[in-house]
Amino acid sequence: MMLTLLDELLLFSGATLLVALFIGRGLAAGWMVTILYGGQLLALLKMAVLGYEGGTIASSLTLEVMGQALSWRFDALSWFFALITIGSALLSSWFSCGAWERSYIRQGGNIWLFHTAMALNVFTMLILLASGDLLSLFIGWELVSWAGFLLMALAGGVAARAAMRYITYAMAGGMAIFGGLALIYTASGSLQLEAVTTAVEQMSGAKLWLLVILFGGGFGVKMGLMPFHLWQAPAYAETPGPGSAFLGAISSRMGLFAILLVLVKLFGIVKIESLKVPFTLIDARDLLAWIAVFTIILPTFTAMKQNDARHLLAWHGIGQGGYMLLGVVVADAMGGAGGLLHVFNHATYQAALFMAVTAVIYRTGTSDLNKLGGLVVRMPLSFVVLLIGIIGLAGLPPMNGFVSKWLVYRSLLNQGMPLLFLAAVIGTLGTILSVYKLIHNIFLGQLRVEHEHVSEAPWSMMIPMLILSAIIFITGLMPGIPLEWIASVLQTVGLPVPDYTLGGVESSSGSLDMIWVIGVLFAGFGVGALVFYSAGRSKRVHQLDNYAGGHFLSADVRYQYSDNFYAGLMHLIGGWYRGSFLWLERGITSLVEFLSLGMQGLYRRANAEFYLLTTALFVIAWVVI
Which 378-437 positions form the footprint of other proteins (CB under 8 A)? 378, 380-381, 383, 387, 391, 394-397, 402, 406, 409-410, 413, 416, 418, 421-422, 425-426, 429-430, 432-433, 436-437
Is 185 a binding residue for other proteins by CB under 8 A? The answer is yes
Is 561 a binding residue for other proteins by CB under 8 A? The answer is yes
Helix (H) or strand (E) holding 464: helix 459-477
Window 306-325: residues binding other proteins (CB under 8 A): 306-308, 311, 315
Please say which residue, 172 or 481, places its beta carbon nearer to other proteins. Answer: 172
- Whether the CA torsion 135, 137, 138, 142 is positive or negative: it is positive
Candidate list 178, 197, 227, 466; residue touching other proteins; CB under 8 A: 178
Window 83-142: residues binding other proteins (CB under 8 A): 135, 138-139, 142
Which residues touch 236 (CB under 8 Å, ≥6 apart)?
152, 244, 247, 248, 251, 310, 314, 317
CB of 316 to other proteins, least distance (A): 12
Q: Report how far Cα 427 is from the mean position of its chain's Cα atoms.
A: 16
Angle at 351 between CA 347 and CA 352, to 5 degrees: 120
* Radius of gyration of the CA atoms of the chain, in A: 26
Q: What's the 3-state SS for 194-209?
A: HHHHHHHHHCCHHHHH
Candidate list 2, 542, 556, 578; residue touching other proteins; CB under 8 A: 542
Query: How far apart (Å, rounded) are the C-alpha atoms in residues 325 and 575?
Result: 28
Please say which residue, 1 or 541, places its beta carbon nearer to other proteins. Answer: 541
Pick the stretch among 89-97, 243-251, 269-277, 586-594 that binds other proteins (CB under 8 A).
586-594
Please say which residue, 38 or 179, places its beta carbon nearer to other proteins. Answer: 179
Candidate list 2, 537, 556, 578; residue touching other proteins; CB under 8 A: 537
Please say which residue, 53 or 450, places its beta carbon nearer to other proteins. Answer: 450
Candidate list 186, 206, 449, 474; residue touching other proteins; CB under 8 A: 186
Candidate list 374, 480, 482, 498; residue touching other proteins; CB under 8 A: 374
CB of 76 to other proteins, least distance (A): 26
Please say which residue, 40 or 188, places its beta carbon nearer to other proteins. Answer: 188
Which residues touch 581 (CB under 8 Å, ≥6 apart)?
226, 227, 229, 230, 298
CA atoms within 13 A on the CB side of 297: 16
Cβ–Cβ under 8 Å, residues 300 and 341: no
Pick the stretch among 21-29, 240-248, 481-489, 555-563 that binds other proteins (CB under 8 A).
555-563
Query: How far apart (Å, rounded) are the C-alpha atoms in residues 243 and 562?
Result: 27
CB of 579 to other proteins, least distance (A): 7
State how beta strands 499-501 and 504-506 pair.
antiparallel
CB of 150 to other proteins, least distance (A): 10
CA atoms within 13 A on the CB side of 255: 29
Is 27 a binding residue for other proteins by CB under 8 A? The answer is no
CB of 54 to other proteins, least distance (A): 29
Please say which residue, 184 or 288, places its beta carbon nearer to other proteins. Answer: 184
Tell me if residue 227 falls in helix, strand or coil.
coil
Q: Which of 127, 114, 270, 101 is nearest to 201 (CA)?
A: 270
Is 1 a binding residue for other proteins by CB under 8 A? The answer is no
Cβ–Cβ under 8 Å, residues 237 and 350: no
Window 231-250: residues binding other proteins (CB under 8 A): 233-234
CB of 24 to other proteins, least distance (A): 15
Residues in the chain: 625
Site string for other proteins, 131-170 (x = CB under 8 A): ----x--xx--xx--x--x---x--xxx-xxxxxx-xx--
Cβ–Cβ under 8 Å, residues 277 and 287: yes
Count of residues binding other proteins (CB under 8 A)?
A: 188
Query: How far apart (Å, rounded) are the C-alpha atoms in residues 169 and 581?
Result: 14
Window 480-519: residues binding other proteins (CB under 8 A): 508-513, 516-517
Pick the stretch among 33-41, 321-329, 471-479, 535-543 that binds other proteins (CB under 8 A).
535-543
Tell me if residue 500 falls in helix, strand or coil.
strand
Q: Which of 412, 497, 442, 516 is nearest to 76 (CA)?
A: 497
Please say which residue, 280 or 455, places its beta carbon nearer to other proteins. Answer: 455
Window 288-307: residues binding other proteins (CB under 8 A): 302, 305-307
Q: Which of 375, 244, 425 is nearest to 317 (CA)?
A: 244
CB of 525 to other proteins, least distance (A): 3
Is 58 a binding residue for other proteins by CB under 8 A? The answer is no
Query: How far apart (Å, rounded) are the C-alpha atoms in residues 607 and 486?
Result: 66
Q: Which residues are 73's β-sheet partners?
A: 58
Q: Which of 121, 153, 129 is nearest to 47 (CA)?
A: 129
Pick the stretch among 18-26, 83-91, 361-369, 473-481 that binds other proteins (CB under 8 A).
361-369
Please say which residue, 496 or 524, places its beta carbon nearer to other proteins. Answer: 524
Tell me if residue 621 falls in helix, strand or coil.
helix
Query: How far apart (Å, rounded) are the C-alpha atoms in residues 283 and 285?
Result: 5
